[in-house]
Amino acid sequence: MKQATAANRPHDLPGRYRPALAPLLFLLVAFATLAGMAAPVYAQTISISDISQSEGDSGTTYFEFRVTYNGPPLASDVTFGLDTSSGTATEDVDYEAFHIPPVLTMGSPSDGSYFPFSVSVTADTTYEPDEFFYINITGATGAAVLDGQGLGTILNDDPPPPLVQIDPPDGATLMAGVVGVSYSDTSIQAQFGTGSNAFYAINMPPGLGIDIVSGAITGTPSAAGTFNPTVTLVDTGYGGSAVVANYTITIAPTPAITVVSPASGSTAGGTTISISGTGLTGTSAVVVGGAAATGIAVVSDTLVTAITPAHAAGPADVSVTTPGGTTTLPAVFTYIAPLRPDPTQDAEVQGLINAQAQAAERFATTQIDNFNDRLGQLHDEQSRQAQSLGIQMGVTPGNGVAPMGYVEQAPVDDPAGRAMGLPPAGSPALPVEPLFSDTAFWSGGFINFGTTSSGTIDLGHTLVGVSGGVDHRFTPDFVAGIGFGYGRDRTDIGSNGTTSSGQAVSAAVYGSYHPAPFYLDGLIGISRLDFDSTRYVTATGGFAYGNRDGTQLFASLSAGYEYRQDGLVVSPYGRLDAAVTRLDGFVETGAGANNLAFGAQGFDMLAGIVGVSAQYAIPMEWGVLSPRARLEYTHDFAGSSQASIGYADLGTLPYTLTLDDVLHDYLTLGFGLDARFDADMTLSLDYRTGLSTNGNGRNHTIGIRLSGGF
């Protein structure tokens, strides 16, 4: 009940009289008179009323009381005080208490005169029992107190609370538990009611109990099984109700493994094992050696069967997961590798490893050739500003590899230009068109088709290499730039479907210093390699698939001299090409027990090239025709490389494969023809052939290039 305000307001309203006490008062007065007592005799009385009233739903409700005078008229006043006291109602909560000393006055009252006053009662909407409080007359003078205590009854006018409900409802399944594992389920909640609740439970799983206030079920289960506890929720508030709900709690046993049979199987997997133990009902996962088993079947609470996955040879742990947790029996199953042939003797394996090594070297030589081609153009400003786009196509049959040293070296003094009437080197510079500047962009590349022999299997490849960049002439004799390249290679290995596909993304910086008649060209770059492989499995006729990445550094340094006489240019030169390649290890998939694992692999290239080139410009009516010739000698200083191999399920790499040696010494003879037209377009045809000095290899290259200014 809420507090309210008391008020004292005198009013004249009909009095209240208590006839049962009047004869007693008369006898007391008569007795006192006969006894000669000096006490005053009152023929007049005062009494206080009672009141019963509803409290209301909001604000304050005033309970009106009266102090009434009964008797003959008085010439004097009647004074008194009022004091509240509590019954079941709480002062200053349900009603406003007050304490008034005897200063209240009824002046010259006559029969029926009364003194009204009110008590403030707090209204609310809480369902509760009727409550009461008292009003007492204190310190009365001038009249006797006939009834000195008034009763104020606060009548409840609010509806009873709704019935309490429990959630989850009757019949629900509560959280499952595990023997010996701490348990806590806080899902049981009271709804509606007065909000004052108590929870009680019977038939709980051993080790569990319910909190009387919150309803949380906690503890550590000590026995397995399915239990049906009954929970009673009591609304302890006034007018509260109760509800009963029956639940299900399943306590699972902790699983245990005792025996795995058989105790060994193939590294290829596929062995059906029987796992014996306890608490295996509800098994959801079986793991052998860290890999998930398949075909899981729960036979009983003490037996589960499963099929082992593939795994490396050696002991393996077996784990079982049930609703009661996961249990592991260490080193209980042993993987045994089947007898298999040495993979390094397989022609498909030999061909695949050699194909990736040769492709990595081709990626390096492709970018070196493309950037050196641009460096050759930097010797002559008009050729540099042409920003040519070139394509070469080549065929290299035989059992050798393409030489690394063919680089087009453009002369400082352009003989074709002089044949067309342009000034020779050293002449005063002609006015430069606004189109040209000290910065130029360029792009170029070639397509190469070839075949080589790797032991007992042939390799046929197709390689596309492109490069592009931007360079700036810092001084008349020095130009430097930055470029980027991309290469893509596909090699078909034998005739059974084994292939290797690779790609390289490159970046390089380069520069040319050419104080005529000498020049010095250099470049250094880096590539990121990626290879995908498909290997024919000789033993099964299936295929194994793999992927490996790698990193490559490449560099080249060239120096030469250019002799010019009329339309003839002769240039002896020397060059060093180098590359360092590292390929990551990888593991094949798709071939089961025949999957191979390949270790990380590294190989280097260091080639020295010496040569001489000649070119002669012949003026024609339509432009200039320039035949060319070149002779080179190449020596590769790098040695062979080795690859570590093993069967994937063994976890080791016990086999070593030595890669085929590349051609270490060979001669290259080249011929070419440039047709430069008046429209500043040039068509170039090239042929070159390489022959190893020991007669083990020979290659041929045919190229065509079209370039022009734009």
Confidence at residue 324, expressed as pLDDT on a 0 to 100 scale: 87
Asked if 73 and 151 sit in the same domain, the reply is: yes
Give the CATH number for residue 569: 2.40.128.130
User: From CA 239, how far away is CA 161, in angstroms rounded?
Assistant: 7
Q: Which of 438, 364, 443, 353 is nearest to 638 (CA)?
A: 364
Contact 646, 594 (CB under 8 A): no
Q: Which pLDDT tens digit goes with each residue over 365-395?
A: 888 888 888 887 787 655 544 444 444 444 4
Asked if 598 and 690 sit in the same domain, the reply is: yes
Give the CATH number for residue 227: 2.60.40.10
Choose one of 318, 336, 354: the last residue of a domain. 336
Contact 526, 506 (CB under 8 A): yes
Number of H helices and E strands in the chain, helices first, is 4, 49
Average of per-residue pLDDT values in the chain: 83
Phi, psi of 31 (to 5 degrees): -65, -40
**Average confidence (pLDDT) over 124-132:** 92
Asked if 297 and 355 sit in the same domain, the reply is: no
Choose one of 289, 311, 336: the last residue of a domain. 336
Confidence at residue 450, expressed as pLDDT on a 0 to 100 scale: 73
Confidence at residue 674, expressed as pLDDT on a 0 to 100 scale: 82
The pairs formed by 136-139 with CB atoms below 8 angstroms and a separation of 24 or more are 136/48, 136/82, 136/83, 136/84, 136/85, 137/46, 137/48, 137/67, 137/80, 137/81, 137/82, 138/80, 138/81, 138/82, 138/83, 138/101, 138/102, 139/79, 139/80, 139/81, 139/101, 139/102
Q: Which of 50, 51, 65, 56 is nearest to 156 (CA)?
A: 56
Residue 34 within a domain: no
Residue 55 within a domain: yes
Secondary structure (H, E, C), 124-162 = CCCCCCCEEEEEEEEEEECCEEEECEEEEEEECCCCCCC
Q: Is 548 left (phi over 0), alpha (psi -120 to 50) or beta?
A: beta
Q: Which pLDDT tens digit goes with each residue over 298-322?
A: 999 999 999 999 888 889 999 999 9
Q: Which pLDDT tens digit goes with each residue over 511-567?
A: 999 998 999 999 999 999 999 999 999 989 999 999 999 999 999 999 999 888 888
Contact 265, 273 (CB under 8 A): yes
Phi, psi of 592 (to 5 degrees): 60, -125
**Average confidence (pLDDT) over 64-69:** 96
State the DSSP string of 520-535.
Answer: EEEEEEEEEEEEEEEE
Least confident of 20-24, 85-89, 297-301: 20-24
Confidence at residue 34, expressed as pLDDT on a 0 to 100 scale: 43
With a cut of 60, say whether residue 473 has pLDDT above it. yes
* Strand-pair category, 51-54 with 149-155: parallel
3 state DSSP class of 397: coil
Confidence at residue 283, expressed as pLDDT on a 0 to 100 scale: 93
What global pTM score does this model have? Answer: 0.54
Tell me the pLDDT band of 244, cut-offs 50, 70 and 90: very high
**Average confidence (pLDDT) over 29-35:** 43
Asked if 222 and 319 sit in the same domain, the reply is: no
Q: Which of 390, 418, 367 is nearest to 617 (CA)?
A: 418
Confidence at residue 199, expressed as pLDDT on a 0 to 100 scale: 96
Asked if 617 and 656 sit in the same domain, the reply is: yes
**Average confidence (pLDDT) over 202-213:** 96
Asked if 526 and 588 sit in the same domain, the reply is: yes
Residue 35 within a domain: no
With a cut of 80, say whether residue 41 has pLDDT above it. no
Residue 423 within a domain: no
**Average confidence (pLDDT) over 677-703:** 69
Residue 463 within a domain: no
Residue 86 within a domain: yes
CB atoms within 10 A of CB 389: 16
Tell me the pLDDT band of 454, cut-offs 50, 70 and 90: low
Q: Residue type for 251, please? A: I
Six token digits for residue 422:
């342009």
Confidence at residue 696, expressed as pLDDT on a 0 to 100 scale: 56
Asked if 680 and 554 sit in the same domain, the reply is: yes
Compare 290 and 16 and report the one with higher pLDDT.
290
Asked if 564 and 646 sit in the same domain, the reply is: yes
* Planar angle of CA 416, 422, 425, nearest 5 degrees: 85
Q: Which of 469, 305, 292, 498 is nearest to 389 (CA)?
A: 469
Residue 453 within a domain: no
Residue 19 within a domain: no
Confidence at residue 24, expressed as pLDDT on a 0 to 100 scale: 45
Q: State which residues form the domain around 594.
A: 343-392+469-708
User: Residue 695 burial (CB < 10 Å; 0-12/13-18/19+)?
Assistant: exposed
CB atoms within 10 A of CB 211: 13
**Average confidence (pLDDT) over 202-210:** 96
Least confident of 96-100, 113-117, 254-258, 690-694: 690-694
Portion of the chain with pLDDT greater than 70, in percent: 81
Confidence at residue 405, expressed as pLDDT on a 0 to 100 scale: 32
Asked if 625 and 650 sit in the same domain, the reply is: yes
Q: Which of 648, 554, 636 is nearest to 597 (CA)?
A: 648
Give the CATH number for residue 148: 2.60.40.2030
Q: Which pLDDT tens digit goes with each residue over 401-414?
A: 333 333 333 344 45
With a cut of 60, say whether residue 277 has pLDDT above it. yes
Six token digits for residue 621:
């009516």
Confidence at residue 663, expressed as pLDDT on a 0 to 100 scale: 55
Choose one of 297, 316, 336: the last residue of a domain. 336
User: From CA 235, how far away is CA 190, in angstroms rounded?
Assistant: 9
With a cut of 50, say whether residue 431 has pLDDT above it. no
Asked if 605 and 532 sit in the same domain, the reply is: yes
- Range ranked top by mean pLDDT from 337-341, 367-371, 460-464, 472-476: 472-476
Asked if 231 and 315 sit in the same domain, the reply is: no
Q: How many domains does the chain have?
A: 4
Six token digits for residue 633:
């000698």
Asked if 324 and 351 sit in the same domain, the reply is: no
Confidence at residue 706, expressed as pLDDT on a 0 to 100 scale: 62
With a cut of 90, say whether residue 227 has pLDDT above it. yes
